[in-house]
Amino acid sequence: MKKGLVFIGILVFSFAFISGAMAQDIKVGTLLAHTGPLKEFGPNIQNGVVLGAKQFGAAGLDIKLIHEDSETSAIPATNAAKKLVEVDRVVAIIGALASGVTVPVAESVTSPNNVIMMSPASTSPLITVLPADRGKDFLFRTCPSDALQGVVAGKLAARYNKTASVLYVNNPYGQGLAETFKRSFEKRRGKVLAMVPHDEKAAESYTAELRKALASNPDRLAAFSYPEHAKVYLKEAIEFFKYRRFLFCDGTKSEDIVKAVGARNVEGQMGTAPGTAGGEPYVMFSADYRMEFGRLPPLPFITNAYDGLAVIGLAAYAAKLKGLPLTSVNIRDQLREVANPPGEIIKPGEFKKAFGLLRQGKKINYEGAAGSVDFDENGDVITPIEVWKYSKGKIVTVRVEHVF
């Protein structure tokens, strides 16, 4: 009787062990903003990752997600990243959002530990040439550099204005976007009258910064910040300075801003943001997102986060078929194999189809919800730039521009 019980116990333990191993092919962390100046964006961007993991589970690859809050701040984000890498042993981190968070996390945690960091939203040009990752190739992003967005923003402003000032968050994101915008705007005979930085931590008032930025009465004020900053200083600009001619960006593409300042005060005002290529991949993603979460908000980078997990999952499966341990290094080595041409096109949610093709020894090329995820040697991609506007309290797309 005891032997039988022992045997049954061994069987149960073995089954549980095998099931547990099968139920957790890889661990992936998210390091997104749920508090701090970008807190409006974090939950919906995280939903994009959650949707991708669920679809991979249905296709036969189980991804355990471990979520951490970056707090839109370098020090807490770095501590959270250390926990993900050293304690949770993730093979990759989806994040961060702010470039001012991604850069220090990559420099001090992910690149030194040979762990993939896949940012869906950090657009600073600095990331392309970050010294800590040169020759290591662990820092990727599924959003375009502001070397692209800044060009389109400058063109957009020059179409309607002769002068502009820039109020920007003083971190790699704000600095990079502001500088690229200035070059683009002045190349088109515009004149930037003032470049005024503000602290990354949200403040109660920005009247001192506004006084500098608006001193020469620019035709346009570029609001290159995050929602928690901009909803304060835009309201002050309107109420105290009687000024309401703004140019927005991805960081100020915000439903919270509309609520804070009132729809009529931003009616018709335009901005830029990393966009989506549209077409069938975006339609497929949108339908799946709505089915899972009920609404796809008009906020940036949800598609980019989904695409980040998609290429990590596909690369993990490709490594698994080759009999390789599912380490960050081995997954990294497969990323361009599954994301770049040549290969049969794989669209969002078609992971079971992708796995079948890989098992047959065929090449695949993932075309994402945001656009092509064709990584160059720096881990960068080129996706379209959206021109958008506030219209009747909503955020609507005006057009999509391709910059090459």
CATH 3.40.50.2300 in the chain is located at: 21-145+279-366, 146-274+386-401
Where b means 16+ CB within 10 Å and e means fewer, 163-193 reads: bbbbbbbebbbbbbbbbbbbebbeeeebebb
pLDDT number for residue 16: 39
Q: Whats the size of the chain, residue-wise? A: 404
Mean pLDDT of the chain: 94
Predicted local confidence at residue 24, as pLDDT: 63
pLDDT tens digit sequence for 97-154: 999 999 999 999 999 999 999 999 999 999 999 999 999 999 999 999 999 999 999 9
What average pLDDT score do residues 221-234 get? 98
Q: pLDDT tens for residues 163-202?
A: 999 999 999 999 999 999 999 999 999 999 999 999 999 9
Say what the pLDDT of residue 404 is. 61
Q: Is the pLDDT of residue 160 over 80?
A: yes
Which CA distances in Å does 102 have to 90, 148, 238, 279?
A: 17, 19, 33, 30
State mean pLDDT over 368-393.
Answer: 95
Interval 26-40: pLDDT, tens: 999 999 999 999 999
Please write the tens of the pLDDT for every residue from 43-61. 999 999 999 999 999 999 9
* Confidence check: pLDDT of 303 > 90: yes
Confidence label for 19 from pLDDT (cuts 50, 70 and 90): very low
For residue 15, give every residue at least 6 positions away whose Cβ sits within 8 Å of its Cβ, in sequence order, or none: none
Q: Which fold has domain 146-274+386-401?
A: Rossmann fold (3.40.50)
Lowest pLDDT segment from 12-21, 61-70, 379-388: 12-21
Closest among 355, 84, 101 to 93, alpha carbons compared: 84
Q: How many C-beta atoms surround the C-beta of residue 284 within 10 A?
A: 15
Average the pLDDT over each of 10-19, 57-66, 334-343, 363-372 and give the range with the smallest value: 10-19
3-state secondary structure the chain: CHHHHHHHHHHHHHHHHHHHHHCCCEEEEEEECCCCCCCCCHHHHHHHHHHHHHHHHHHCCCEEEEEEECCCCHHHHHHHHHHHHHHCCCCEEEECCCHHHHHHHHHHHHCCCCCEEEECCCCCHHHHHCHHHCCCCCEEECCCCHHHHHHHHHHHHHHHCCEEEEEEECCHHHHHHHHHHHHHHHHCCCEEEEEEEECCCCCCCCHHHHHHHCCCCCCEEEEECCHHHHHHHHHHHHHHCCCCCEEECHHHCCHHHHHHHCHHHHCCCEEEEECCCCHHHHHHHHHHHHHHHCCCCCCCCHHHHHHHHHHHHHHHHHHHHCCCCCCHHHHHHHHHHHHCCCCEEECCCCHHHHHHHHHCCCCEEEECCCCECCCCCCCCCCCCEEEEEEECCEEEEEEEECCC
**What CATH architecture does domain 21-145+279-366 belong to?**
3-Layer(aba) Sandwich (3.40)
pLDDT of residue 98: 97
pLDDT confidence of residue 402:
81
42-59 and 302-321 helices, crossing angle to 10°: 30
- In the chain, the percentage of residues whose pLDDT exceeds 70 is 94
Predicted confidence band of residue 377 (pLDDT cuts 50, 70, 90): very high
The amino acid sitting at 83 is K
Interior angle at CA 32, CA 30 and CA 36, nearest 5:
155
**Cα-based torsion angle of the residue sequence 91, 97, 100, 101 in order, rounded to the nearest 10 degrees:** -40
Q: Can you give the pLDDT at residue 15? A: 41
- Using an 8 Å Cβ cutoff, are 344 and 363 in contact? yes
Contacts of residue 160, Cβ cutoff 8 Å, sequence gap at least 6: 219, 220
User: Which position has the higher pLDDT, 356 or 12?
Assistant: 356
